[in-house]
Structure 1
């Protein structure tokens, strides 16, 4: 039986990471869990986010994955180190890869970060960025209204553009040339975010760098799937299965149209 890369998120946001993993590592089996019943995580207390993340990790471990990816920025900020301490598997988060990508792209030395309340309050991105480049200027802003738009599948409406514009208007007055999308839901809103911020600001989606880190770790452990393997992906959500499947199929597109996929609902405690 092929061992999977397990990916978890507070909802559909982690599908942005899944899409990039499927592109870079098409032979790898994906085991995804979106906690759609309890999304969003960003406004919840840290201890609650840790409890939810731990519960999902415990559930995924029964499938014997070879790696766990915490594709939620809030959960990465709150729970990554604790999960690493108690789980004997490679555990990958999305904050450090996003910071590396931004430092590699910025020319002005001014980097913006948008994320949930929990991620921004944690200071996790600022710490990661300054570890890589102590002189970098970091401008952070919480955008809690974005996740509900994505979970509803509302990516490009006039309401979405208005909400994005109101949230990001203060950032346009800065000298930033890179903006980290510090929530894996936010790449679903790339078009309106780019429209508001303008062509001179590069949007940093940590998914590409995260997928590279996954590939590197599996290569070093000699655990990459063999060529020619046809993975059977499994997608779990904790509520709203029709909406979850609809968004997943739209976002992943050709990556899953020709692949065997199992869709399941698993109800966690409220």
Structure 2
């Protein structure tokens, strides 16, 4: 039995899509989440800068004595996962590999679309991961930089969101993709709109949700799971931005009525 918390990091509120799945699959595990809203979006930033930000968040989570870190951000996974894994002595998990595996499993014709931030697309991380696992797969990558601001401004249910998603995904209209990876943890909040645009025949892959399956497996493998059911875990949420804005989105998405985030200052944030 290990009662230490699991740490989750993201550029903003998008990582809450991973936390939501964690609360469902791993209800006995304490969550400590940090969203770097003051410095988002990460997508247009240089990889070295994103790596620096990821280390700052990792250091904060380590100060909370977490037993595992989940990089609940595709851009940060592409930039920092290998570095954190090589230098930390606790498991560090990213969202790209689980999302890639799920896409390969779901596709019937090996035509896979990937939507993500500019940084993730530029890194080619999904394309390399998918084609390494399945050399016959054909990956069509598309940057969707306007999606993150829609979510962070709490406009992901608005009419403007429908317009932006439709315009962004237009290049997929005449393709044969049967599977689409939502390669940013913000994107699942736009899932109903994305599904409506690409049509019911395209399977959407939530890379964040798939990542929690990996977390669960590793908890078992390393005997890190918490089996103390005597009290409910006390989750903690931190943001470098507006705690009030964070709370509005987080309460709606996680259905945790009493959730209250804390503002956190990081160097340079």
Q: How far apart are the structure 1 equivalents of 2:209 and 2:60?
A: 26
Deviations 1:84-109 (A, max 9, x none): 11111100000000001100100011
Superposition deviation, residue 262 in structure 1: 5.4
Give the stretch that moved more between structures: 153-162 or 95-104. Answer: 153-162
Once residues 107 and 65 of structure 1 are traced to their aligned partners in structure 2, the CA distance between those partners, rounded to angstroms, is 39
Give 3-state SS (helix, strand or coil) of 2:39's partner.
coil
Give structure 1 regions of 4+ aligned residues with deviation exceeding 4 angstroms. none
Count of residue correspondences: 266
Distance (Å, rounded) in 2 between the aligned partners of 1:142 and 1:174: 16
| Matches of 2:260 and 2:145, distance apart in 1 | 31
For the Cα contact (< 8 Å) 1:181–1:203, is it kept in 2? yes
CA contact (8 A) 2:33 2:237 kept: yes
- Aligned equivalent of 2:75: 74
Q: Report what 1:266 is aligned to.
A: 264
> Equivalent residues in 2 for 1:93-172 (5 A)?
93-172=94-173
What's the offset of the Cα at 1:206?
1.4
Partner of 1:4: 5
Indicate the residue corresponding to 1:245 in structure 2. Answer: 247
Q: Which runs of 5+ in 1 are unaligned?
A: none
SS at match of 2:185: coil
Contact 1:232 1:261 in 2 (8 A): no
Could you tell me the TM-score, scaled by structure 2's length? 0.96
Q: Is the 8 A contact 1:30 1:234 kept in 2?
A: yes
Contact 1:156 1:191 in 2 (8 A): no
Alpha-carbon distance between aligned partners in 2 of 1:193 and 1:243, rounded to the nearest angstrom: 24
Deviation (angstroms), 1:207: 2.4
